[in-house]
């Protein structure tokens, strides 16, 4: 726990920690001004307006709140502080379906028989304290919850010292830059002038040359509750190619002027859809000897494809590998990498118009999912045995259909959403295995996972530099075209990779597919 210096914030911080630890805090009163939340206000205001305190969903609350008692007695108890300190665990609560009982039990005030209120708020300003959850809470959360490793208390005043852990928004400089900023209220992206970020001690500041677009960029709208940075000029863009212009105090291996390539950390919001971006130095790669646009097209899609085939499916030459979404970013790299890895039967799935493109990448068979019966075609290709390895880059029904054509002992990896295993009619006797992969989740998951990310990046960029792998680049656009390009990407019709080039700004250049 990092200790801030401002007195009022210190108090909020300490008291919140006590609350988490289940201690009663006598006379605690939060004096930080301007705190706001969704409906829960300062108790004195509740007195005046006679508002009923909002309640959490009944299933999630082990003890029903006694709002009267709370309003009467909370003047000098910690409940009052709770209504001021917005504990942004609502998102977590929604998704862990009742697994937070332990935490809630702790927040139950036995004396006043009142239950702490939970509210979902976004920080007004980038003042974020991260309070590590008690370990047993963290471990009781389901795996999709690894992203939530802290409770965020937000207040409207910036403390005099910087308590920011390096992954969260850093103080900005007085200088400004052009960036595509995500607006969490409208879920839209817009070109804006925002303060140029400053690298933390383990970071580098990169002058962006090119940045690829990925579906995850617009999907931030789904994750925003889990990412505090979305409240503060959140800049998306994970696949960055550029040159270091500033290094943090603790950075040893990199210097100003080094050209780099990296896959960014979604949680930080200082991405590459801007003139300057910040990234932790641990997962930087030396820029491969290819142009910036081609290099930027690779990380998210190419490294994901590599990890799926090598780390998860462990493909071998005898496999019948089925790749859905073969004409998209991940699919395009997967088809090529499967070839490099020696897989003899590569079945791509896409619509008719993209068949020539997928064949050109090296697929041995391509199925048009719109006019053909995918299941029947796969069974025909495999003489009724079914696929031995499946990479699903589409999700939903497409994934469920592919489960039906998995052969004995087959494996499937999903990169879109959790596999609906109940769709498998023969999971045990079929010996089926299911994997999930989240490339960027490696950030902040420990040095060995970050090292693996960089290692995979090195291998894929080596293939690119050696000319064994094409970058799948199909379109280069300028920064101002990003909002409309992301809108189009949501339709799931993108072929290959779209890259934003800072030098192209604002003109458009189309590559031949
Ligand atoms: N977990 C991770 O780490 C990770 C990493 C990267 C990407 N992803 C996710 O993986 C998905 C794919 O990413 P991407 O970058 O490859 O997306 P993308 O480039 O937008 O993929 C679009 C392609 O999907 C094809 N497609 C759409 N519906 C299809 C269907 N029912 N069957 C077969 N193909 C279909 C389209 O081809 P047609 O027009 O021919 O239909 C289009 O070419 C996204 O949801 C993305 O968020 C996850």
Per-10-residue mean pLDDT for the chain, 513 residues long? 46 51 37 32 41 37 32 30 35 39 48 43 29 32 33 36 44 82 94 94 97 96 87 94 97 97 96 97 96 98 98 98 98 98 98 98 98 98 98 96 97 96 92 97 94 98 97 96 96 96 61 44
Centre of ligand 1 from the C-alpha of residue 451, in Å = 26
**Ligand 1 pocket, mutate which of 143, 218, 223, 325 (most atoms under 8 A from CB):** 325
Centre of ligand 1 from the C-alpha of residue 134, in Å = 37
Pure H helices in 224-263: none
- Whether 322 is in a domain gets the answer yes
- Residue 247: CB within 6 Å of ligand 1? no
Centre of ligand 1 from the C-alpha of residue 509, in Å = 23
Which residue has the CA at smallest separation from atom 2 of ligand 1? 438
Centre of ligand 1 from the C-alpha of residue 66, in Å = 49
Q: How many domains does the chain have?
A: 3
In sequence order, the 6+-apart residues with CB closer than 8 A to the CB of 493 are none
How far is residue 129's CA from residue 408's CA, in Å, rounded to a whole number? 50
pLDDT at 247: 97
Residue 346 C-beta-side C-alpha neighbours within 13 Å: 28
pLDDT at 258: 98
410 and 309 belong to one structural domain: yes
Crossing angle of helices 215-223 and 482-489, rounded to 10°: 80
How far is residue 70's CA from residue 79's CA, in Å, rounded to a whole number? 7
What secondary structure does DSSP assign to 438-481, as a single string? Answer: -GGGGTTS-HHHHHHHHHHHHHHHHHHHTTSS---EEEEE-GGG
Give the range of the structural domain holding residue 252, as residue numbers without chain letter.
172-297+496-510
pLDDT at 103: 45
135 and 59 belong to one structural domain: yes
Which residue has the CA at smallest separation from atom 46 of ligand 1? 215
- Whether 200 is in a domain gets the answer yes
214 and 124 belong to one structural domain: no
Answer for the pair 125, 232: CB distance below 8 angstroms, yes or no: yes
Pure H helices in 329-418: 329-340, 355-361, 374-381, 396-403
How far is residue 102's CA from residue 403's CA, in Å, rounded to a whole number? 37
Which residue has the CA at smallest separation from atom 48 of ligand 1? 415
Tracing tokens 């709140």 back to the chain, one arrives at 65
Centre of ligand 1 from the C-alpha of residue 329, in Å = 7
65 and 107 belong to one structural domain: yes
pLDDT at 110: 54
Last-in-domain residue among 101, 121, 154: 154
pLDDT at 113: 52
In sequence order, the 6+-apart residues with CB closer than 8 A to the CB of 32 are 8, 9, 12, 84, 155, 156, 157
pLDDT at 16: 52
289: domain CATH number is 3.90.180.10
pLDDT at 476: 97
Centre of ligand 1 from the C-alpha of residue 215, in Å = 8
Atom of ligand 1 nearest to the CA of 398: 31
pLDDT at 223: 83
12 and 117 belong to one structural domain: yes
């Amino acid at each position: 726990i990092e200790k801030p210096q401002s007195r009022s914030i210190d108090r909020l911080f300490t008291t919140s920690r006590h609350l988490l630890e289940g201690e009663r805090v006598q006379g605690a009163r939060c004096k930080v001004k301007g705190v706001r939340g969704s409906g829960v206000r300062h108790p004195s205001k509740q007195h005046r307006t006679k508002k009923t305190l909002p309640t959490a969903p009944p299933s999630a609350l082990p003890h029903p709140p006694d709002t009267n008692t709370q309003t009467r007695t909370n003047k000098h108890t910690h409940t009052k502080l709770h209504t001021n300190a917005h504990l942004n665990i609502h998102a977590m609560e929604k998704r862990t379906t009742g697994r937070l009982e332990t935490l809630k039990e702790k927040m139950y005030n036995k004396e006043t028989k009142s239950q702490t209120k939970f509210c979902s708020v976004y920080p007004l300003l980038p003042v974020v304290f991260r309070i590590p959850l008690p370990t047993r809470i963290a471990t009781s959360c389901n795996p999709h919850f690894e992203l939530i490793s802290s409770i965020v208390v937000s207040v409207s005043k910036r403390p005099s010292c910087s308590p920011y852990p390096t992954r969260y928004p850093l103080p900005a400089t007085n200088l400004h830059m052009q960036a595509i900023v995500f607006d969490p209220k409208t879920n839209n992206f817009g070109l804006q002038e925002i303060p140029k970020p400053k690298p933390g001690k383990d970071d580098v500041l990169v002058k962006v040359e090119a940045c690829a677009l990925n579906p995850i960029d617009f999907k931030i709208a789904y994750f925003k509750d889990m990412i505090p940075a979305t409240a503060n000029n959140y800049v998306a863009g994970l696949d960055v190619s550029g040159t270091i212009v500033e290094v943090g105090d603790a950075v040893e291996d990199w210097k100003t002027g080094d050209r780099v390539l990296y896959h960014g950390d979604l949680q930080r919001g200082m991405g590459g859809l801007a003139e300057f971006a910040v990234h932790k130095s641990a997962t930087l790669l030396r820029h491969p000897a290819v142009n910036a646009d081609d290099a930027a097209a690779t990380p998210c899609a190419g490294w994901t494809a590599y990890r799926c085939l090598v780390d998860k499916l462990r493909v071998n030459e005898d496999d019948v590998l089925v790749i859905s979404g073969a004409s998209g970013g991940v699919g395009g790299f997967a088809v090529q990498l499967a070839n490099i890895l020696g897989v003899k039967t590569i079945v791509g799935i896409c619509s008719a118009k993209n068949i020539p493109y997928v064949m050109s990448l090296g697929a041995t068979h391509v199925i048009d999912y719109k006019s053909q019966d995918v299941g029947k075609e796969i069974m025909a290709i495999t003489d009724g045995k079914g696929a031995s390895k499946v990479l699903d880059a589409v999700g939903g029904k497409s994934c469920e259909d592919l489960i039906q054509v998995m052969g004995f002992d087959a494996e499937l990896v999903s990169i879109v959403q959790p596999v609906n295993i109940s769709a498998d009619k023969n999971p045990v006797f079929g010996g089926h295995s299911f994997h999930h992969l989240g490339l960027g989740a490696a950030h902040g998951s420990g040095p060995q996972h970050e090292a693996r990310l960089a290692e995979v990046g090195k291998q894929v960029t080596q293939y690119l530099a050696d000319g064994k792998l094409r970058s799948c680049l199909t379109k280069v656009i300028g920064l101002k075209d990003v909002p409309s390009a992301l809108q189009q990407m949501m339709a799931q019709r993108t072929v290959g990779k779209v890259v934003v080039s800072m030098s192209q700004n604002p003109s458009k250049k189309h590559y031949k597919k």
